A = this chain, B = another copy of it.
Amino acid sequence: MSTITKSYQTLVGKLEEISHLNGVMATIGWDHQVMMPSGAAEIRSEQIAALAGVIHERMTDPHLEDCLDVLKEENITSLSKIERCNIIEARRNVTLEAKVPKRLVQEMAKLSSQSHLIWVAARQENKFSDFAPILKRFLELKKEWAQCVFPGMDPYDANIDNFERGTVKDEITPIFARLKDELIPLIKAVQDSSYQPNTSFLHGKFPVKKQEMLARQISQDIGFQFDQGRMDVSVHPFCGGSHPTDVRITTRYQESNFIESLYAVIHETGHGLYEQGRMLEGRSLPASESLTMGIHESQSLFWERMIAQSKPFCSHYFETIRATFPENLAGESATSFYQAINSCKPDFIRVEADELTYPLHVILRYEIECGLFDGSISVDDLPGIWGELMFKYLGVKPPTDTLGVLQDSHWSGGAFGYFPSYTLGAIYACQFYRSMVKELPDTEENISTGNFVPIKNWLNEKIHCQGRLCTPQELVMQVTGEKLNPDYFVSYLNKKYTEIYRLS
């Protein structure tokens, strides 16, 4: 056996072990949010810390570095594309892990676990000043982190890179500027329209048991494999799990509103289909993993918005939904249902926002993060700035910080640079959808007859199976023939909301 082959095999063994331990951590993390009794919180954080320590140890194992030293770019030309990708990804991960001093890792982990509770309390009590010191400290730590991992890079770009590799402010800012230019007037027009869809029938009493049955059926119809996954309840919907054969989505139920839960399930199913659809080769190796947060979000939004908020989807499922909640939907039609679930109303809370106002919530956070990192915004000024920007972009002003700057958990975990992924994902989703319709002209008909197989297969082949073999930039080029282009998103929204609100 050649040195290269031998080193590669050793590398694979080590990477697989790390992947298995990460899989254990993912299961524990899911359990934490879905199953764990409240009294176990303290011991669970000890257990997580112990396992995290082991994983860090494995990631910084000198033998792993030795393998990577042998497997330099110039030596591995004989290996396959996937094998080379595994090496490159492993090198990146190992390098990033090694660059952060243990002290910083520990301080971030500790702050993160403390700050969550402080954020929860501050949000509950509407007291931003209690949370501000944490936020300041996290900013310092995340700037230091950026300095460690990408010394030459702008610190906020480095934080974005953590979630959206290869994407920088210089690319995002003009895209978001374009969205502001287009969407702010569109939202205004929608609000001013004399025609407003009736949404009253979406409020009422919808038994949770029936909601669950409906959600489970639709999730399965669009392709979620329940023998390789689960669906449960958690405080915030998410997609977790330890492996493509163990994908776990969650939702939450309110008896007064079935749409939120149903579309959360479809959203998380989109994430789940990405995971279940990963390449069959080397599923415990980095090349098979999902690409970035933005691409992941493109998959959840693809199903939630491009498919499930479309007319053909509503026309296919309306009878089923009406049969599930006959009293509530007796007098309605597929069209009135379509209009109601797509109604637009500027409001305070991001996670409850419709697809038209959602980007403005993201842009606001993006601009604040830019300012926090370049020093033009100080933490203490956040509540004021938040209110101003909300009013400027959406015409509403949150009456409390609880409904404003304290609403999201991201900053309490130090996740700066994450928010842009949501809207990048929406833009990707729209652009992917357009390419799919070109290649599969029967798509709308298929949706309206409940045949989701060609759609799932297309996404499996074009995106899920690609793993990390290319960058997001290369992927969008490969799938759509051009780079990320917000035009499609803008014209999709314009067309859709002009029609629903009878604007033209």
Contact = CB atoms under 8 A, between A and B. Distances in A.
Interface stretch (A223-231, A262-270, A311-319, A419-427): A223-231
A394 to B, nearest CB: 41
Interface stretch (A3-11, A240-248, A253-261, A467-475): A240-248
A121 interface: no
A381 interface: no
Given A27-B28, A51-B24, A44 B246 contact: yes
B35 A245 contact: no
A42 interface: yes
A211 interface: no
A246 B39 contact: yes
A201 B431 CA distance: 65
B242 A43 contact: yes
A54 interface: yes
Contacts of A36: 246
Given A24-B51, A27-B28, A47-B20, A37 B284 contact: no
A21 B50 contact: yes
A161 interface: no
B229 A37 contact: yes
A355 interface: no
Contacts of A24: 24, 28, 47, 50-51
Interface in A118-163: none
Given A24-B24, A27-B31, A28-B28, A245 B40 contact: yes
A43 B245 contact: yes
A23 B43 contact: yes
A20 B49 contact: yes
Given A28-B27, A31-B31, A245 B39 contact: yes
A232 to B, nearest CB: 8
A388 interface: no
A79 B236 CA distance: 48
B284 A46 contact: yes
Contacts of A283: 43
Contacts of A23: 43, 47
A230 B35 CA distance: 8
Contacts of A44: 242, 246
A38 interface: yes
A296 B227 CA distance: 35
Contacts of A242: 40, 43-44, 47
A501 to B, nearest CB: 43
Contacts of A20: 43, 46-47, 49-51
How many copies of the shown chain assemble into the complex?
A: 2
A5 B306 CA distance: 64
A65 interface: no
Contacts of A40: 228, 242-243, 245-246
A156 B37 CA distance: 40
Contacts of A229: 37, 39
Contacts of A35: 35, 230
A16 interface: yes
Nearest to A18: B50
B243 A37 contact: no
Contacts of A53: 17
Nearest to A31: B27
A8 B36 CA distance: 32
Contact of A43 (B17, B38, B243): B243
Contact of A16 (B31, B46, B51, B245): B46
A129 B21 CA distance: 38
A271 to B, nearest CB: 16
A227 B41 CA distance: 10
Interface in A208-232: 225-230
A51 B21 contact: yes
A429 to B, nearest CB: 27
A150 to B, nearest CB: 31
A23 B47 CA distance: 7
A347 to B, nearest CB: 35
Contact of A21 (B16, B31, B54): B54
Interface in A414-469: none
Contacts of A49: 20
A227 B37 contact: yes
Nearest to A225: B39
The 3 closest A-B pairs by CB, nearest first: A40-B246, A20-B50, A39-B228
Given A16-B46, A20-B51, A40-B242, 11 more contacts: A16-B50, A20-B46, A20-B47, A21-B51, A27-B47, A37-B246, A38-B227, A39-B225, A39-B229, A44-B242, A47-B243
8 contacts: A21-B47, A35-B35, A36-B246, A39-B227, A40-B245, A40-B246, A43-B245, A54-B54
